Structure 1
Amino acid sequence: MHRGRVIFGAMDEVVFGRPAREAIVEQLDRLGAQRAFLMVSGTLNRETDEIEKIRNALGSRCAAVFDKMPAHTPRAAVISATEQARAAKADLIVTVGGGSITDGAKAVQLCLANNVTTSDGIDAIRTRGGVSPEMKAPTVRQISVPTTIAGGEFSAIAGVTNEAKRQKEMLRHPLVMPRATILDPELSVHTPDWLFLSTGVRAVDHCVEGICSREAHPYGDAQAIKGLAMLAQGLPRVKADPKDIDARMDCQIGTWLSTGPLAAGVPMGASHGIGYVLGAVHDVPHGHTSCVMLPAVMRWNKRDNAERQALVASAMGHPGKDAGDVLDRFIRDLGMPRSLREVHVGPKHFDHIATQAMRTPWVPRNPRKIDSASQVREILMMAA
């Protein structure tokens, strides 16, 4: 018998396949916002006219623009964006960019609501041992236009890097989920191919770990299996022709579906857990962590969840094949790194990574039980 609980997140709408600038104006009208604080990709702002088009469409309702969020969302940049949003008297945050910007805005919402003014002040609002502290709910919410496809715009969790500790920490509140997400595939054409494709593998990882979880259920499965099929077909088409807008749209919708299991309470596994550590400690890009770890995790887990893994191989168009092999080949064909060595992480780091990974929320909930750092080390050796 299935047991579980599906909590519907605090998002009102997802708009897809329409120009972002039109959809953003409609959202401001709908929400009655007058002072939009734009948190945007620096590259998009400096090297294209896309942000300019959005600013022109918003006119006097654009209160300020922040375009200096580095990868992995460091605390210092969150505080700097918060100061600017506070000074601009923002009543809504609009993000246009990748996951670090989306997460940055979620963190800004909580900093504004809880009067956080310093990097150390973030300690008061971060989760500890998976538990969020008591805090004031955000009143300045956000809408997001993602240009990468890792899927953070559909979650109520933000990852922020504590630079001093080189650790990714979680901030969580139901209302940090964007009120609306706008999927405009045309904007993603400016995203570097390696970044679009690797974050796509991150979305594949959401689907796969959602399907393979011990706690999987039909509601999450329905979304993850369809999402995986769309990503498995769409990503190779984007690689073959970066201007294929239909393929990009399929990848964006597949990514939206990939977040279904997580939103419905299904935990991720060791690929995500180890990935957090590789990102925070070794600066491995978000997507690359999944490229390197997912096939190894699947092979290590297969002893305990072979029938769930069969669903993965089928959804990817290879029924009856080994899911770890199918994923290995798929990621290789996208031209992505497939070993820890390729992302400059060697065996001398494995003990530290394994110890840190045990502290993440996901490693303890991996489908094949992980009781010790030595088992994480086994997986790392398989990915070496």
Structure 2
Amino acid sequence: MHRGRVVFGAMDEVVFGHPAAEAVAGQMDRLGASRAFLMVSGTLHRTTQEIAKIRDRLGNRCVEIFDAMPPHTPREAVIAAAAQARGCNADLIVTVGGGSITDGAKAVQLCLANNIRRIEEVDKIRVHNGTAPAMAAPVVRQISVPTTIAGGEFSAIAGVTNSATRVKEMLRHALVIPRAAILDPAVTVHTPQWLWLSTGIRAVDHCVEGLCSREAHPYADAQAVRGLAMLAQALPRVKADPGDLDARMDCQIGTWLSMGPLSAGVPMGASHGIGYVLGAVHDVPHGYTSCVMLPAVMRWNKADNAERQALVASAMGHPGEDAAGVLDGFIRGLGLPRSLAEVKVVPEHFDRIAAQAMATPWIPRNPRRIDGPAQVREILLLAA
């Protein structure tokens, strides 16, 4: 008998296929907001007209723009953005960009609500030993226009990197999830292809680890299977024709579905756990961590969850085949890295990675039990 609990999040709406500028203005009208603080991609801001379109459509309702969020969302940038949002008395944060910006705005929400003004004070709001501390709920919320497809706009958690320790730390609160996500494929054509495709594998990773979890359930499975099928079909179409907006829309909807397991309480596994460390310590882009780790994790886990892995191969159009092999071939076909060596992580780094991975929230939830760093190292060797 299935047992579990699904908690529906605090996102109000998902708007898809409508121009971003019009949709952002519509959301401000709906929410009664009058002072939007834009947190946006610096490249998008400086080299395209996409941010100008939103700014112009909002007029004097756009009070300031922050465009200096580095990859992996360092604490320093979060504090700087929060200070700017506080100074302009923002009543809504609007993000336009990738996952680091989306997560940065979630962190800014908590900084504003809890008077976090210094880098070290982020300790007061981060998750400790799997538990989020008591804190004031965000009042200034966010809406998000994603330009990559890792899916962070559909979650109530954020990853923020402590630059001093090179550790990616989790922040979590039910109300940091955006009030609305706006999926406009036209805005995403400026995203570098390697980034679009690799964050697409991050979305694939969400589907796969959700399906393969010991804690999977039918509600989450339905979303993960459909999302994985859409991503498996659409990502190669975008690689073949970067201007194919229908394919980009399918990728975005597949990504939305990919977050179904996580938002329904199904944990991720070792690919995500190791990926946290690769990003924080070795500056490996999020999508690339999934490209190099997911097939290796699947191979290592297969002894314990072959039946669930069969669902992955089938959803990707290869029923009866080995899921790790299917994923390996799919990622290679997109021209993405498939080994740790390709992202400049070598065996001499493995002991530290393995030790740090044990402290992430996902390693203890991996479907095949991981008792210590030595087993994480086995997975790293498979990905070497």
Structure 2 residue aligned with 1:253:
253
CA apart distance, 1:130: 1.0
The DSSP-based 3-state class of the residue aligned with 2:37 is: strand
Q: Does 1:361 align with 2:361?
A: yes
Structure 2 residue aligned with 1:334:
334
Which amino acid letter does the alignment assign opposite residue 333 of structure 1? G
Structure 1 residue aligned with 2:87:
87
Structure 2: how far apart are the matches of 1:208 and 1:283? 24
Structure 1 residue aligned with 2:139:
139
Matches within 5 A, 1:10-89: 10-89=10-89
Q: Does 1:103 align with 2:103?
A: yes
Which amino acid letter does the alignment assign opposite residue 240 of structure 1? A
CA apart distance, 1:293: 0.2
The DSSP-based 3-state class of the residue aligned with 2:159 is: strand
Q: CA RMSD in A?
A: 0.4
Structure 2 residue aligned with 1:191:
191
Matches within 5 A, 1:117-266: 117-266=117-266
Structure 2 residue aligned with 1:373:
373
CA apart distance, 1:339: 0.2
Structure 1: how far apart are the matches of 2:38 and 2:179? 15
Structure 1: how far apart are the matches of 2:292 and 2:165? 24
The DSSP-based 3-state class of the residue aligned with 2:168 is: strand
- Listed as ranges, the gaps of 5+ residues in structure 2 are none
Structure 1: how far apart are the matches of 2:51 and 2:367? 43
Structure 2 residue aligned with 1:322:
322
Structure 2: how far apart are the matches of 1:11 and 1:142? 10
Structure 1 residue aligned with 2:284:
284
Deviations for 1:281-332, whole angstroms, at most 9, x for unmatched residues?
A: 0000000000000000000100010110000000000000000000000000
User: Where does structure 1 differ by over 6 angstroms across 4 or more consecutive aligned residues?
Assistant: none
The DSSP-based 3-state class of the residue aligned with 1:265 is: coil
Deviations for 1:184-219, whole angstroms, at most 9, x for unmatched residues?
A: 000010000000000000000000000000100000
Structure 2: how far apart are the matches of 1:383 and 1:314? 23
Q: Does 1:267 align with 2:267?
A: yes
Structure 1: how far apart are the matches of 2:232 and 2:179? 28
TM-score computed with the length of structure 2 as normaliser: 1.00
Structure 2: how far apart are the matches of 1:378 and 1:167? 22
Aligned length: 384
Structure 1: how far apart are the matches of 2:305 and 2:38? 44
Structure 2: how far apart are the matches of 1:85 and 1:372? 42
Q: Percent identity?
A: 78
Structure 1: how far apart are the matches of 2:74 and 2:358? 22
Structure 1 residue aligned with 2:116:
116
Deviations for 1:128-158, whole angstroms, at most 9, x for unmatched residues?
A: 0110111000000000000000000000001
Structure 2: how far apart are the matches of 1:363 and 1:134? 25
Q: Does 1:311 align with 2:300?
A: no
TM-score computed with the length of structure 1 as normaliser: 1.00
Structure 2: how far apart are the matches of 1:171 and 1:183? 24
- Listed as ranges, the gaps of 5+ residues in structure 1 are none
CA apart distance, 1:372: 1.1
Which amino acid letter does the alignment assign opposite residue 18 of structure 1? H
Which amino acid letter does the alignment assign opposite residue 64 of structure 1? E
The DSSP-based 3-state class of the residue aligned with 1:72 is: coil
Structure 2: how far apart are the matches of 1:84 and 1:205? 35
The DSSP-based 3-state class of the residue aligned with 1:186 is: helix
Which amino acid letter does the alignment assign opposite residue 345 of structure 1? V
Structure 2: how far apart are the matches of 1:356 and 1:133? 22
The DSSP-based 3-state class of the residue aligned with 2:330 is: helix
Deviations for 1:83-128, whole angstroms, at most 9, x for unmatched residues?
A: 1000110000000000000000000000000001010010111010
Which amino acid letter does the alignment assign opposite residue 96 of structure 1? V
Matches within 5 A, 1:2-17: 2-17=2-17
The DSSP-based 3-state class of the residue aligned with 2:14 is: strand
